[in-house]
C-alpha cells in the first residue's frame, strides 16, 4: 500500500488529520528564491485527484513573474513516486510552463485555467539527488505556479485485514459509498466508522462498525456474517430495507443497533441465539409478527422494539390486529394522534375551565390522560416532585408562549428549568407533545436537553436542563452583558447553534426543521456554550425524499422566511434564512425589526444590504458592526460573516447555503480571528470572571407573543 512520507506545500502551518483523512503530513514550503505566495478563499474542487488532496492545501500556491521556479532536494529519493498538484488561483490570460526533473523535460507544455479544480501530475524518480524546475513558456503571460507536491514509496504492510472481512465491508460499502473507504480497511488509516483488532493468529479482524446516519440504502448484505470477531454494530438511522439476513455466525456480538430504518419481516430466531448480545434496538422499523419469547425474557438483554406497529408480544395480539386492520386502513397515525388530542382538549375544556395562570395552580384541570409519546425515553415527574423542586413555584425566571418558567433543584442537586403551560398558551398541548416527541429521541451537545415532563392531574410541565447564561437575545440587548461578549465568543456561540441545526437537518432521520430559529431560542451556559432550544413549532419531514413540507406558516416576525410565508412550503432552507438573520443580529447588535428607525432601516436585512458587496473589499462594513466590540475584531472575519449572513437570507432557496456549509464558513471566520494580532479573551474561565451572571440576571424570556406568526 502507499506509505506517505513528507509533503511540502505552500501555507503557514502544518496540515494533517483531520483536515487530511489519510493522516498525511503537509509541511510548509519555504526559501524558494523569487517566489511569491498566492491564496484563494474560494473552494477548490479536489474530487478528481486520485489521492483526494485536502482542499485547504490547494487554496495556496507559489508563483513567480520570473522564468523559472526551482525546487531542489538533497535526500535519498531513490525509487520514490512523486505527485505535483496545480490549481490556478488568480486571473490569467495565459499561464503555460514545462516541468523539468534534473534539467530533463518531463511534462509540458502545461496550461492551467482558473476553474477552481485541482490537477495532478505523477513522476518516477531514480536518482538520489533531484531537483524540480518549472519553466515559463515563451508565449505565457504569467510565470509558473505550483500548489503542492508529495512523495511516497510502495511498502508492504503486515498483517493485513482478513480477506473475508474485506469482502463483507466491500459489500456494505455498496450502500454507503464512503470516500474514505479505500485501500485496506485497517491499515494504515482505518476506514471511517471501522475499528479493528489483532487476533491470536496475527490476523487483523474487524471488531466494530459504527455507521449511524450515513445514508445507507438497500438491504443489509448477508456477507456481514463473515465478521465473526464483530463485537459492536451500529447501522441505525439510515434507509435500510428488506429482511434481516442470517447473521447467526456473529457469536461475539454484544450490541446491535438497527433502529430508525425501513427493515421489515419477522424477527428471526437466530437473534436470541447470540448469547453475548446485551443491547438490541430495532425501534421504528416495519417488523411484524410475534416477538420471540426468548428476547422478552432474557434478563441480560436490553431490548428496545417500539415503533413497529405490526409487531406483537403475543400471538393473540397479532390475530386481533389483523381483524381490525380494515377499520384503520388508509388512516395515518399522525391524524389519529391529532384527533385524539383535539378530543381530549375539548373534553377538558368542557369539564374544566380553569388552569394554571401565572403562579396560581388550578385545582380542576386534568391532563393525566394525555398520551405522552416516547414515554419510556423520558422521565415522568410527579406534581409533588415539581412543587418541591421549585419551592412551590416561587422563583420565576422567564415567560414565553408556552407559559411561565421556574427555577428548580432536583433531590440530586441538579438545577432545572420548569416550563408550566398557561391557560392562554397559543401552542399548549401541541407544543408539549411536540417537544417531548422530538427531544426524547434526539440528543446533541448543542441542543438543550429535555430531562422529563409532568402531566399529573392538573398541569402540563416540561423539565429542561438549566442554562445559567440566559438567552443570546438577553445577552445582546443587555448593555452590561453584551460588553463582556467578545466577537470571538459570539462567533463560537454562532458555531454552536449552527452545529445544532446541522444535526437536526442531517443527523436526524427523518430530518427536523426547527421553524423558530432566533436569538431568544439560543441559550447559554455559564461558559457561553450555546444550545438551540424551544422545539414547540418544529416539524418532522416524514418523507425523507420530499423537498418540502406544506404547512401553516408559523414563526417569529423578523426571522420568518418570506419564501415560506408566501408559499407555505417549509424546507430546511427556511431555518437557514432565520439563522442568517441571527448572524446579522450578532454582528450588528440590533433587533431584526426596529420600528423606531426610518422606513428603509426598519428591517435589519434592509439596513445591512447596502454595505455588502460580495465581490469587493467592503471597507465600509465596519459602520454596521456592534460598537460594543470596540474595534477588537479581525475585519476579514467580520466581512466573511456578513457575506455569509446575506447568502443565508437570499430570496432564492438555491442561493442559500446548507447548514453544513454554514458551519464550515463560521469555522473559517474563527480562523481569521485566530490570526488577529489583538489580544483576544479566551473562552475559558468565564464561570469565575462573570460570576455576577447569577439568578437575578438569568432569564428564559422569549419574544413578545405579539411577534409570533400564527
Nearest to 524 by CA among 472, 592, 597: 472
The C-alpha cell that represents 147 in the structure block: 500548489
Other C-beta atoms closer than 10 Å to the C-beta of 171 total: 15
Residues 6+ apart with CB under 8 A from 247: 222, 224, 225, 253, 270
3-state secondary structure of 122: strand
The C-alpha cell that represents 553 in the structure block: 406558516
3-state secondary structure of 525: coil
CA angle 687, 689, 693 (to 5 degrees): 65
What are residue 233's phi and psi, to 5 degrees?
A: -140, 120
Other C-beta atoms closer than 10 Å to the C-beta of 13 total: 7
CA 617 centroid distance within chain: 31
The distance in angstroms from the start CA to the end CA of the chain is 61
Q: Cβ distance 1 to 81 under 8 Å?
A: no
Residues 6+ apart with CB under 8 A from 537: 427, 431, 434, 514, 515, 516, 554, 555
The C-alpha cell that represents 401 in the structure block: 408562549
Q: Cβ distance 367 to 460 under 8 Å?
A: yes
CA angle 494, 499, 505 (to 5 degrees): 125
Q: How many Å apart are CA 528 and CA 482, to the nearest integer?
A: 12
The C-alpha cell that represents 303 in the structure block: 431490548
The C-alpha cell that represents 286 in the structure block: 416495519
Nearest to 468 by CA among 175, 696, 176: 696
Cis peptide bond prior to 440, omega within 30° of 0: no
Residues 6+ apart with CB under 8 A from 115: 88
Q: How many Å apart are CA 312 and CA 308, to the nearest integer?
A: 9
CA distances from 80 to 3, 54, 124, 126, 261 (A): 11, 22, 6, 7, 47
3-state secondary structure of 696: coil
Q: How many Å apart are CA 197 and CA 101, to the nearest integer?
A: 43
Q: How many Å apart are CA 115 and CA 91, to the nearest integer?
A: 10
The C-alpha cell that represents 603 in the structure block: 428591517
Beta strands per DSSP E along 201-254 = 204-210, 217-219, 232-234, 239-242
Active site residue 236: no
Residues 6+ apart with CB under 8 A from 560: 553, 578, 709
Nearest to 219 by CA among 199, 200, 246, 198: 246
3-state secondary structure of 154: strand
Q: How many Å apart are CA 554 and CA 705, to the nearest integer?
A: 12
Q: How many Å apart are CA 85 and CA 83, to the nearest integer?
A: 7
* Residue with cell string 449572513: 645
Q: How many Å apart are CA 93 and CA 143, to the nearest integer?
A: 11
* Residue with cell string 538520489: 128
Other C-beta atoms closer than 10 Å to the C-beta of 336 total: 11
Q: Among 236, 516, 534, 708, which one carries the catalytic annotation? A: 516
Q: How many Å apart are CA 298 and CA 352, to the nearest integer?
A: 46
Radius of gyration of the chain (CA): 30
Catalytic residues: 516
Amino acid at each position: 500500500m502507499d506509505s506517505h512520507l513528507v509533503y511540502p506545500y505552500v501555507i503557514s502551518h502544518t496540515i494533517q488529520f483531520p483536515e487530511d483523512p489519510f493522516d498525511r503530513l503537509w509541511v510548509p514550503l519555504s526559501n524558494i528564491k523569487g517566489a511569491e505566495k498566492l491564496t484563494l478563499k474560494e473552494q477548490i474542487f479536489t474530487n478528481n485527484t486520485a489521492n483526494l488532496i485536502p482542499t485547504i492545501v490547494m487554496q495556496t500556491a507559489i508563483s513567480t513573474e520570473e522564468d523559472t521556479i526551482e525546487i531542489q532536494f538533497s535526500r535519498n529519493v531513490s525509487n520514490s513516486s512523486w505527485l505535483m498538484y496545480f490549481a490556478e488561483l488568480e486571473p490569467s490570460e495565459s499561464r503555460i510552463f514545462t516541468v523539468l526533473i534534473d534539467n530533463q523535460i518531463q511534462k509540458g507544455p502545461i496550461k492551467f485555467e482558473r476553474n477552481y479544480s485541482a490537477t495532478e501530475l505523477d513522476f518516477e524518480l531514480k536518482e538520489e539527488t533531484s531537483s524540480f524546475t518549472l519553466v515559463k513558456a515563451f508565449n505565457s503571460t504569467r510565470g509558473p505556479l505550483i500548489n503542492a507536491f508529495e512523495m511516497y514509496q510502495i511498502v508492504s504492510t503486515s498483517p493485513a485485514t482478513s480477506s473475508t472481512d474485506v469482502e463483507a465491508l466491500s459489500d456494505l460499502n455498496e450502500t454507503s459509498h464512503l470516500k474514505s473507504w479505500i485501500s485496506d480497511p485497517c491499515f494504515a488509516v482505518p476506514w471511517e466508522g471501522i475499528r479493528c483488532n489483532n487476533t491470536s493468529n496475527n490476523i487483523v479482524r474487524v471488531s466494530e462498525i459504527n455507521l449511524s446516519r450515513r445514508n445507507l440504502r438497500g438491504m443489509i448484505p448477508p456477507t456481514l456474517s463473515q465478521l465473526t470477531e464483530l463485537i459492536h454494530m451500529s447501522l441505525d438511522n439510515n434507509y435500510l430495507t428488506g429482511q434481516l439476513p442470517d447473521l447467526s455466525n456473529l457469536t461475539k456480538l454484544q450490541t446491535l443497533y438497527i433502529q430508525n430504518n425501513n427493515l421489515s419481516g419477522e424477527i428471526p430466531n437466530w437473534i436470541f441465539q447470540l448469547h453475548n448480545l446485551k443491547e438490541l434496538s430495532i425501534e421504528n422499523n416495519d417488523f411484524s409478527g410475534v416477538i420471540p419469547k426468548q428476547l422478552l425474557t432474557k434478563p441480560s438483554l436490553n431490548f428496545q422494539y417500539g415503533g413497529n406497529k405490526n409487531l406483537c408480544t403475543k400471538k393473540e395480539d397479532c390475530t386481533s390486529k389483523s381483524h381490525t386492520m380494515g377499520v384503520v386502513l388508509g388512516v395515518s397515525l399522525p391524524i389519529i394522534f391529532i384527533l385524539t388530542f383535539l378530543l381530549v382538549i375539548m373534553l377538558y375544556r368542557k369539564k374544566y375551565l380553569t388552569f394554571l395562570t401565572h403562579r396560581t395552580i388550578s385545582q380542576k384541570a386534568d391532563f393525566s390522560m394525555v398520551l405522552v409519546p416516547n414515554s419510556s425515553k423520558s422521565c415522568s415527574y410527579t406534581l409533588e416532585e415539581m412543587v418541591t423542586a421549585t419551592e412551590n413555584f416561587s422563583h420565576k425566571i422567564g415567560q414565553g408562549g408556552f407559559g411561565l418558567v421556574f427555577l428548580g433543584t432536583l433531590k440530586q442537586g441538579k438545577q432545572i428549568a420548569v416550563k408550566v403551560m398557561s391557560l392562554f398558551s397559543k401552542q399548549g398541548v401541541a407544543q408539549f407533545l411536540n417537544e417531548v416527541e422530538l427531544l426524547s429521541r434526539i440528543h446533541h451537545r448543542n441542543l438543550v436537553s429535555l430531562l422529563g415532563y409532568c402531566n399529573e392531574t392538573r398541569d402540563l410541565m416540561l423539565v429542561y436542563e438549566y442554562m445559567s447564561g440566559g438567552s443570546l437575545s438577553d445577552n445582546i440587548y443587555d448593555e452590561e452583558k453584551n460588553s463582556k461578549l467578545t466577537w470571538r465568543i459570539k462567533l463560537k456561540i454562532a458555531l454552536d447553534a449552527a452545529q445544532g441545526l446541522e444535526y437536526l437537518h442531517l443527523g436526524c432521520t427523518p430530518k427536523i426543521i426547527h421553524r423558530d430559529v432566533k436569538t431568544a431560542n439560543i441559550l447559554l451556559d455559564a461558559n457561553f456554550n450555546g444550545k438551540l432550544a424551544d422545539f414547540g413549532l418544529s416539524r418532522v419531514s416524514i418523507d425523507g425524499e420530499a423537498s418540502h413540507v406544506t404547512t401553516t406558516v408559523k414563526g417569529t416576525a423578523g426571522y420568518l422566511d418570506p419564501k415560506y410565508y408566501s408559499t407555505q412550503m417549509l424546507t430546511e432552507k427556511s431555518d437557514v434564512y432565520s439563522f442568517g438573520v441571527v448572524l446579522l443580529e450578532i454582528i450588528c447588535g440590533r433587533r431584526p425589526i426596529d420600528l423606531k428607525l426610518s422606513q428603509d432601516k426598519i428591517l435589519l436585512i434592509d439596513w445591512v444590504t447596502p454595505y455588502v458587496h460580495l465581490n469587493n473589499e467592503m471597507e465600509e462594513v465596519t459602520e454596521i458592526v456592534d460598537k460594543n466590540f470596540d474595534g477588537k475584531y479581525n475585519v476579514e472575519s467580520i466581512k466573511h460573516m456578513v457575506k455569509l449572513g446575506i447568502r443565508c437570507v437570499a430570496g432564492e432557496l438555491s442561493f442559500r447555503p446548507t447548514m453544513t456549509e454554514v458551519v464550515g464558513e463560521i469555522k473559517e471566520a474563527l480562523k481569521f480571528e485566530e490570526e488577529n494580532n489583538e489580544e483576544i479573551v479566551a473562552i475559558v474561565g468565564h464561570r469565575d470572571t462573570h460570576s455576577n451572571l447569577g439568578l437575578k440576571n438569568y432569564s428564559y424570556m422569549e419574544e413578545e407573543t405579539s411577534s409570533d406568526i400564527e
